[in-house]
Amino acid sequence: MTIAWLIIAVVFGIAILTFVSLLSRRTSKLKITEYRERWEKIVTYLASEDTYSIAIIEADKLLDKALKELRFKGATMAERMVSAKKVFSKRDHVWLAHKLRNKIAHETDTKVNKRQTQIALGAYHRALKDLGAI
The pLDDT-based confidence of 27 (bands split at 50, 70, 90) is very low
- Mean per-residue pLDDT for 29-52? 97
Which of these, 7, 99, 108, 111, lies nearest to 53 by C-alpha position?
111
Which of these, 60, 39, 50, lies nearest to 133 by C-alpha position?
39
pTM, to two decimals: 0.79
Indicate whether 19 pLDDT > 70.
no
Indicate whether 116 pLDDT > 70.
yes
Residue scoring higher pLDDT (5 or 70): 70
Cβ–Cβ under 8 Å, residues 35 and 66: yes
pLDDT of residue 2: 83
Question: Helical H runs in the chain?
Answer: 2-25, 32-44, 52-69, 77-83, 91-106, 114-131
CATH class of the domain defined by 30-131: mainly alpha
With a pLDDT cut of 70, the percent of the chain lying above it is 87
The pLDDT-based confidence of 3 (bands split at 50, 70, 90) is confident
Coil vs helix vs strand at 123? helix
Q: What is the mean pLDDT of the chain?
A: 91
* 29-31-34 Cα angle (round to 5): 165
Residue scoring higher pLDDT (17 or 120): 120
pLDDT of residue 28: 61
Which of these, 30, 48, 40, 49, lies nearest to 87 by C-alpha position?
30
Indicate whether 63 pLDDT > 80.
yes
